[in-house]
């Protein structure tokens, strides 16, 4: 039984997250109306107490050349996934912009997901 309040869209979209004014490249793994799961491969360790409950910026393409930047609060962090150097972050979106709301609602309604790099809606 699904314990989540909001339906997830599973994607693999390149994105940039800004933590303490430092940008890190990675991937959005899944998203909902209110949250995003993001992974990055890093040769460093993010400190839980530094990152958790921090406000971060997350930027990714939502179609073609259109990108969206979300202000997010870090809810959880998991380290050492996959190759041992992968870090996953769960973030809650703070005041999602209308472009994001319209885009995600369209995807949720169509049971689709998107890879903006490929320009493909699945």
**Which residue reads 């799961």 in tokens?**
37
Long-range contact pairs involving 110-116 (C-beta distance under 8 Å, separation at least 24)? 112/9, 113/9, 113/10, 113/11, 114/11, 114/13, 114/62, 114/63, 115/11, 115/12, 115/13, 116/13, 116/60, 116/61, 116/62, 116/63, 116/64
The reported pLDDT for the residue numbered 118 is 41
pTM above 0.85, yes or no: no
The reported pLDDT for the residue numbered 117 is 46
Across the range 102-117, mean pLDDT stands at 72
Closest to 86 in 3D by CA, of 13, 27, 15: 27
CATH architecture of structural domain 9-111: Beta Barrel (2.40)
**Which residue reads 């150097």 in tokens?**
85
pLDDT in tens, 51-102: 666 889 999 998 888 999 999 999 988 876 556 667 888 999 999 999 999 9
């Amino acid at each position: 039984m699904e314990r989540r309040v909001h339906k997830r869209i599973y994607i693999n979209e390149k994105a940039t997250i800004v933590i303490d004014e430092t940008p890190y490249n990675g991937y959005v793994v899944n998203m909902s109306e209110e949250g995003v799961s993001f992974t990055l491969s890093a040769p460093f360790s993010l400190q839980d107490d530094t990152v958790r409950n921090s406000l971060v910026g997350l930027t990714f393409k939502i179609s073609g050349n259109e990108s969206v930047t979300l202000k997010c609060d870090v809810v959880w962090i998991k380290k050492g996934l996959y190759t041992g150097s992968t870090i996953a972050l769960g973030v809650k979106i703070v005041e999602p912009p209308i472009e994001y709301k319209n885009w995600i609602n369209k995807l949720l309604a169509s049971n689709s997901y998107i890879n903006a790099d490929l320009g493909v809606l699945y």
